[in-house]
């Protein structure tokens, strides 16, 4: 029987401990996860090997998570996006993105691992109700 492909996830946060911790949790839960601390490096990596899912902080230096998500989806149109933030200004940023036709999922920081994994399973069920997988 062929081995199932593990969903490839990019975790992007300028706080290295958060990116590494989330990537480790995802790895232990059956995903292929890579932590990035610089959103521009995540974009370069996506050009080489497209992720199935982007999980990104919203407020980061150089490039916001929303701008990263928009640019990444131009490179990888099938990539799903889940954003997370602990800052109040995020609602305004998300509203502006929705006005431009981009609708991203949002998690509040800090995110508990069980909440993250539940949201990933829910997203997979919505996207593909007849397929059972890790995501």
Q: Which residues lie below 8 Å from residue 22, measured CB to CB, with a gap of 6+?
A: 11, 13, 33, 35, 55, 111, 116
Structural domain includes residue 2: no
Query: What is the DSSP code string of 4-19?
Result: PPPPEEEEE-SSHHHH
Structural domain includes residue 33: yes
Diameter over CA atoms, the chain: 48
Domain extent at residue 92 = 8-127
Q: What is the pLDDT of residues 64-113, one digit of tens each?
A: 999 999 999 999 999 999 988 766 566 666 677 777 777 776 677 777 78
Which two three-digit tokens encode residue 28? 């232990």
The predicted model gives 19-40 an average pLDDT of 96
pTM for the structure as a whole? 0.75
Structural domain includes residue 26: yes
Structural domain includes residue 17: yes
């Amino acid at each position: 029987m062929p081995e199932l492909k593990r969903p490839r996830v990019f975790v992007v946060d300028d706080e290295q401990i958060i990116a590494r911790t989330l990537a480790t949790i995802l790895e232990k839960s059956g995903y292929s996860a890579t932590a990035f601390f610089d959103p521009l490096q995540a974009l370069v990596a996506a050009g080489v090997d497209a992720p199935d899912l982007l999980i990104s902080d919203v407020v980061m230096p150089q490039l916001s998570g929303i701008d990263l998500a928009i640019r990444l989806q131009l490179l990888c149109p099938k990539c799903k996006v889940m954003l997370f933030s602990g800052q109040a200004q995020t609602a305004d940023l998300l509203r502006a993105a929705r006005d431009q036709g981009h609708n991203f999922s949002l998690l509040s920081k800090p995110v508990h691992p069980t909440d993250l994994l539940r949201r990933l399973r829910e997203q997979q069920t919505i996207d593909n109700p007849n397929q059972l997988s890790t995501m």
